[in-house]
Amino acid sequence: MMEITGKKISIIGAVRSGLGAAKLAKKVGAIPFVSDSGSKEKLEVWISKLEAEGIDYECGSHSDKVFDCDFIVTSPGVATDSEILSEARRRKIKIITEVEFASWFCKGKVISITGTNGKTTTTFLMAHTLNECGIKTYPAGNIGYAFSEISLDVKEDEFVALETSSFQLDFMDRFKPFVSAILNITPDHLDRYENSFDKYIASKIKITGNQDENDFFLFNADDENTFSTMKNSKVQKLSFSVKKEVPVGAYSKNGKMFFSWFGSTEEVASVNDLFIKGEHNVANALAVLAVAKTLNLPNKKIRESFKSFKGVEHRIEFVRELNGVEYYNDSKATNVDSVVVALKSFEKPIYLILGGKDKGNNYDQIQDLVKKHVKKIYAIGASAQKVKNYFELIVETEIKNTLQDCVSAANKEADPGTVLLLSPACASFDMFTDYEHRGRVFKEAVNNL
């Protein structure tokens, strides 16, 4: 526990992470001030919550009042090279992330999960499995509750399954999870990292930087990019694989899931025990299995938790079927790799909604999949023209203004036995608050048909 009573803390960003950090700061006796460049109309819901807590704030722009502080807590949506953070660095003001701040006040053990894809499913499955095995575990971070919303509630014998994005790992200082996990690393968010994949990887590596011999680092043995993250020689290392046996960790073979620990191997579960399907979900489950068995949890309970876990909202989520057309919400697919997974999940012809805030996407890797699976593309958002320019000679592509327009068009055009899939490959911030907001708008449009 850090002693910060009476400290002035400026918090950049007034949405979920910022609100959580501000409330936590006030609870521990600090003096929070929240600053967001967004308009009052756009932030109305969040501002009302700040006002209800009696927390000082400003919106519309950042004033010099931000710099009258002992340190700054920044939200993941604020770019590291933004003007406000750049000026703070120039003034030599300490900057930390909301996750770092929350970790100062968490008595329980943290399982921090990062990676380009699979974070959300793995985090929820981790929390579900540990809870089913009798260990109280809170899912938090880049999903559901901000870490700072629940950090004070976690007891010493409890856990936090923490989805941790690269943005939340930037500006890390003392963050030291009991288990850190890197599920995979592929090019993403390069617009935030000066189009440098190496800088993106460097951000991911921070998840394990403060760990010691009492902690565990879990990595994907099938992903060559994760090997470059194994620079902390102190931490105990685990791995998982869907392609080969691993000496310490979890792997799948012939439809079975095994746990290996320095020469001793046991069968724990079957791939068929998983309610959620697909090789990517087998990999996610193996990551969970490796941690669960490291904690000596019983095989039967692990199997039962795999069977009872029904998946995650906004990740290839079935919404409804109408007139023979199935509607799926994959708003969490904010990069091209996620769209690969989604397109491989269907045998039926797909009407695909693609577009949003582009992060330097290269669509070459889905060109063949689109040819094979997609009947038509509806292009939306700031990258709509880029999507149209790339795909219009491959498949029929039409620009639409809103998700409602896409859903209405598919309702008229799609044949029975087809799928309308929102899997945008882009961030949501051009049109929505976040990917969850985008997914909810899509589902509302579908359910209103």
What are the tens digits of pLDDT across the range 409-429?
999 999 999 999 999 999 999
List Cβ neighbours of 199 (8 Å cut-off, separation of 6 or more).
193
Mean pLDDT of the region 16-28: 96
Q: Are residues 88 and 127 in the same domain?
A: no
pLDDT per position as a tens digit, 117-171: 888 899 999 999 999 999 999 999 977 789 999 999 999 999 999 999 877 787 8
C-alpha–C-alpha distance, residues 354 and 288, integer Å: 31
Within a domain: residue 3? no
Sign of CA dihedral 197, 200, 204, 206: positive
Task: State residue 198's pLDDT score.
Answer: 72
How far CA 329 is from CA of 75, 165, 368, 439, 441, in Å, comes to 26, 21, 22, 6, 10
Domain termination site, one of 308, 330, 359: 308
How far CA 351 is from CA of 344, 376, 419, in Å, comes to 14, 5, 6
> Has residue 57 got a pLDDT over 70?
yes
- Dihedral-angle region of residue 195 (phi above 0 means left; psi in -120 to 50 means alpha; beta otherwise): left
Domain termination site, one of 273, 308, 343: 308
Task: State residue 17's pLDDT score.
Answer: 92
Strands 317-322 and 325-329 come out as antiparallel
Task: State residue 78's pLDDT score.
Answer: 86
C-alpha–C-alpha distance, residues 377 and 354, integer Å: 7
Within a domain: residue 118? yes
Q: Identify any residues that bridge with 396 across adjacent strands, giving them in sequence order.
A: 376
Within a domain: residue 394? yes
Q: Identify any residues that bridge with 399 across adjacent strands, giving them in sequence order.
A: 379
Task: State residue 337's pLDDT score.
Answer: 87
Q: Are residues 194 and 71 in the same domain?
A: no
Mean pLDDT of the region 261-266: 93
The pLDDT-based confidence of 315 (bands split at 50, 70, 90) is confident
List Cβ neighbours of 231 (8 Å cut-off, separation of 6 or more).
205, 208
Q: Are residues 78 and 176 in the same domain?
A: no
> Has residue 314 got a pLDDT over 60?
yes
Task: State residue 194's pLDDT score.
Answer: 56
Listing DSSP states for 13-42 in one string gives: --SHHHHHHHHHHHHTT-EEEEEE-S-TTT
Q: What residue numbers bound the domain in which 57 lies?
A: 8-93
Mean pLDDT of the region 22-47: 94
DSSP state of 432: S
Task: State residue 202's pLDDT score.
Answer: 76
Q: Are residues 186 and 279 in the same domain?
A: yes
Task: State residue 13's pLDDT score.
Answer: 94
Task: State residue 196's pLDDT score.
Answer: 64
Q: Are residues 175 and 275 in the same domain?
A: yes
Are 169 and 189 contacting, i.e. CB atoms less than 8 angstroms apart?
no
Within a domain: residue 2? no
> Has residue 4 got a pLDDT over 90?
yes
> Has residue 271 got a pLDDT over 80?
yes
How far CA 185 is from CA of 60, 118, 182, 201, 303, in Å, comes to 35, 11, 8, 7, 28
Q: Are residues 289 and 269 in the same domain?
A: yes
Mean pLDDT of the region 272-281: 86
Least confident interval from 26-35, 200-209, 321-330 = 200-209
> Has residue 191 got a pLDDT over 60?
no
Domain termination site, one of 308, 334, 349: 308
C-alpha–C-alpha distance, residues 96 and 78, integer Å: 12
Q: Are residues 379 and 395 in the same domain?
A: yes
Q: Are residues 256 and 135 in the same domain?
A: yes
pLDDT per position as a tens digit, 217-262: 999 999 877 766 666 678 999 999 999 999 999 999 999 999 999 9
* Closest to 353 (Cα-Cα) out of 449, 448, 445, 277: 445
Sign of CA dihedral 133, 138, 143, 145: positive
Within a domain: residue 1? no
Q: Are residues 115 and 80 in the same domain?
A: no
Within a domain: residue 207? yes
Mean pLDDT of the region 164-189: 83
Q: Are residues 221 and 166 in the same domain?
A: yes
Q: How many structural domains compose the chain?
A: 3
Which pTM value belongs to this model?
0.77
Token pair 């792997």 in the structure block, residue: 251
Tokens of 4: 């910060």
Task: State residue 119's pLDDT score.
Answer: 87
Task: State residue 290's pLDDT score.
Answer: 98
Across the chain, what does the average pLDDT equal?
92
Within a domain: residue 13? yes
Task: State residue 173's pLDDT score.
Answer: 87
Top-confidence residue, 193 or 139: 139
